[in-house]
């Protein structure tokens, strides 16, 4: 299984937050799964850092391979296919992650209720809280 983790899931992994559910942790620990972090998630974290909402240690990018996480750069199709997938969620980063998940055929792991409520053809979602 290919799993794209959203920004919050990545932060929880790095900080060893107990919010991640048992099923989510099992999926992320299973070495037969490929786990990805989107370039856009890191971009989102850097934007939040620039406006004082969080701090980001950029050296974490160097640690991704040891964490079993691959950085996923955007494809042309992900950019072309960007859309508002849920009219109740206009967050550009959420919608870009959905576009990336669809184009890369990844399950998207998130705790975001607005993403989890998204209905898009072939979109596979994993609730990170379970």
Q: Indicate the number of domains in the chain.
A: 1
Residue 107 is predicted with a pLDDT of: 98
Tokens 């494809």 belong to 75
Torsion sign across C-alpha atoms 50, 79, 59, 25: positive
Residue 101 is predicted with a pLDDT of: 97
How far apart CA 16 and CA 49 sit, in angstroms, is: 20
Q: Which domain holds residue 86?
A: 2-127
Q: What is the CATH number of the domain that holds 43?
A: 3.40.50.1010
Residues of the chain with pLDDT under 50: none
How far apart CA 52 and CA 50 sit, in angstroms, is: 6
How far apart CA 48 and CA 42 sit, in angstroms, is: 10
pTM above the 0.75 mark? yes
Residue 33 is predicted with a pLDDT of: 97
Residue 64 is predicted with a pLDDT of: 94
Residue 60 is predicted with a pLDDT of: 87
């Amino acid at each position: 299984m290919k799993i794209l983790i959203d920004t919050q899931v990545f932060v929880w992994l790095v900080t060893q937050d107990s919010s991640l559910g048992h099923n989510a942790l099992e999926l992320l620990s299973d070495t037969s799964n490929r786990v990805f972090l989107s370039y856009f998630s890191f971009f989102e974290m850097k934007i939040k850092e620039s406006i004082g909402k969080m701090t980001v240690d950029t050296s974490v990018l160097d640690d991704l391979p040891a964490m079993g996480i691959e950085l996923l750069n955007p494809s042309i199709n992900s950019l072309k296919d960007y859309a508002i997938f849920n009219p109740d969620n206009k967050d550009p980063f959420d919608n870009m992650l959905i576009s990336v998940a669809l184009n890369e055929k990844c399950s998207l792991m998130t705790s975001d209720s607005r993403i989890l409520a998204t209905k898009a053809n072939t979109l596979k979602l994993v609730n990170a809280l379970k």
